[in-house]
Amino acid sequence: MAGYNFSREPKVVPTLETKYRKISTQIPAPGTKEIISRLEKTESRSMQGQFPIIWNKAEDFSVYDIAGNKFIDFTSTIFVANIGHGNKRVSKAITEVLDKPLLSTYAYMSEIRANYLEKLIEFAGPPFGKAFLLSAGTEATEATLKLIRMYSQKIGKKKPGIVTLNGNWHGRTMGAQMMTSNEAQKAWIGYEDPHIHHIDFPYPWDVTEDQGENFFNSQLEALKKKGVNLETDIAGFMLETFQGWGALFYPKSFVQAIRVFTEKHNILLAFDEMQAGFARTGKKFGFEHYEVSPDLFACGKGMGGGVPLSGVIGRSEIMDLPEVGNMSSTHSANPLVCAAGLAVLEEIEINNLVSETERKGKLLKNLLLDLLNKYPLILNNFYGEGLIASLIFKDHSKHTKSELASQVSEKCMQKGLLVVHTGRESIKLGPPLIITDEAMIEAVQIIDESINEIILHD
């Protein structure tokens, strides 16, 4: 991540062994720097920036590096491994397809594709009637944008305006980056889409639960002042289910006001469920926290249990807007990913991952509350639902808040815990949902120790 370079030089750190961790070499492990250098020679540098650990094996909630050091994973590879790394049901399902063999069908159909889509639609439940499968999350957010605009043309809106939120993020392809507010990231595009509008995010420190509706109305007024006709110029809203870097959820009343507005104007409400979907927040889908049902949503990451699977799920009327062939992709609904996706849904059901995540989320919140009480000068707050949480740091002594977040992340790594380094004042915590309570308690203890050691050196 920009702004902090983790040292790739092996450093002597205390060795340790618990049921869940093993650190027996220098960290990064010897040999790491050589592999990073090889990658630097052959791969775009845009792929660099995370912890200097070469993953050799990942199983359940453990990650092993090339020297056999064992880490508790609190990243789920950025919320992919919801059902655990190397899940056996997923591996078996993929192996069966490989053994057939049936590797690709594209526009020609397969039975596993029918099986998966039936199960996916049943899992999503009404009003969602159809889905369209893709590979990357950013393709799914692009397809969502396309569907919103196609719907608005169908119903005769004058302009295809999409309203998104400042600070939200939707991927790295052109439409996705246009919906993102980050100016630096989208500078390469060279022009603004005049019909993508950004409104402010109701950050929890600015807008309380009962102010959500008023806040939304103030944002509508701001749009009107910019010349947007609310009746004719808006095709729909695209909301990241929570704002990523801080796991920041909206006030329920804000989202409900958007839903009322979209229904009144017969326009669409879409969510980007990339990080929030498939049980991560203690609900099947994160939008359920707001007690609204969108018209369509984009998902990916945890959907495939580690294979490249993403998709858009929505009301049938919307999903059938594109003509035959106008919304498809060579690797859409590939047999391997359908087999994996089906296994993911079975795992979620069999292990009651929705209710278990809700329960474990409460435990995580209690543990983070203890940390917050212990370090009032270091920690600003924590946010999240289920097994996605952020810890937000404060400036302290000679450290800025984002330096502190980076230093704590690095210290945790040296002690056998991987957290999500955001490059900002937060660290994000998102273990595989199958993590044990005991491992979770141990992980938060490591964060505690790391903060403590950093302060002691001040």
Binding stretches for ligand PLP (CB under 6 A): 78, 136-138, 141, 169-171, 240, 244, 272, 274-275, 300
Please state, in angstroms and as integers, the Cα–Cα distance from residue 1 to each residue in 179, 290, 303, 327, 444, following that order: 21, 31, 25, 33, 23
Taking the complex as a whole, the smallest distance from the CB of residue 272 to ligand PLP amounts, in Å, to 5
Taking the complex as a whole, the smallest distance from the CB of residue 244 to ligand PLP amounts, in Å, to 5
First to last CA, the chain: 25
Taking the complex as a whole, the smallest distance from the CB of residue 136 to ligand PLP amounts, in Å, to 4
Residue 326 sits at φ, ψ, to 5 deg, of: -85, -10
**235/299 with CB nearer ligand PLP:** 299
Give 35's Cβ-side CA count (13 Å radius).
14
Instruction: Look at the block and give the residue holding tokens 């600015």.
Output: 206
Structure tokens belonging to residue 306: 């580690």
**172/195 with CB nearer ligand PLP:** 172
Q: How many residues does the chain have?
A: 458
**240/356 with CB nearer ligand PLP:** 240
Instruction: Look at the block and give the residue holding tokens 């409400």.
Output: 269
Name the CA radius of gyration of the chain, rounded: 22
**244/251 with CB nearer ligand PLP:** 244
Instruction: Look at the block and give the residue holding tokens 């060279």.
Output: 190
**171/236 with CB nearer ligand PLP:** 171
Pick the closest to residue 32 from 15, 10, 16 (CA basis): 10
Residue facing ligand PLP at closest CB distance = 137
Taking the complex as a whole, the smallest distance from the CB of residue 275 to ligand PLP amounts, in Å, to 5
Count CB neighbours of 12 within 10 A: 9
**171/432 with CB nearer ligand PLP:** 171
Instruction: Look at the block and give the residue holding tokens 């099986």.
Output: 115
Taking the complex as a whole, the smallest distance from the CB of residue 273 to ligand PLP amounts, in Å, to 8
**Cis before 28 (ω within 30):** yes
Cβ neighbors of 273 (< 8 A, separation 6 or more) are 241, 285, 286, 287, 297, 298, 299
CA distance 16 to 199: 49
Indicate if the alpha-carbon torsion angle 23, 431, 360, 422 is positive or negative. positive
Count CB neighbours of 68 within 10 A: 12
- Partners of 134 in beta bridges: 310
Taking the complex as a whole, the smallest distance from the CB of residue 211 to ligand PLP amounts, in Å, to 25
Taking the complex as a whole, the smallest distance from the CB of residue 306 to ligand PLP amounts, in Å, to 12
Taking the complex as a whole, the smallest distance from the CB of residue 133 to ligand PLP amounts, in Å, to 13
Taking the complex as a whole, the smallest distance from the CB of residue 116 to ligand PLP amounts, in Å, to 19
**258/274 with CB nearer ligand PLP:** 274
**182/229 with CB nearer ligand PLP:** 182
Q: 287 near 271, Cβ under 8 Å?
A: yes
**94/420 with CB nearer ligand PLP:** 420
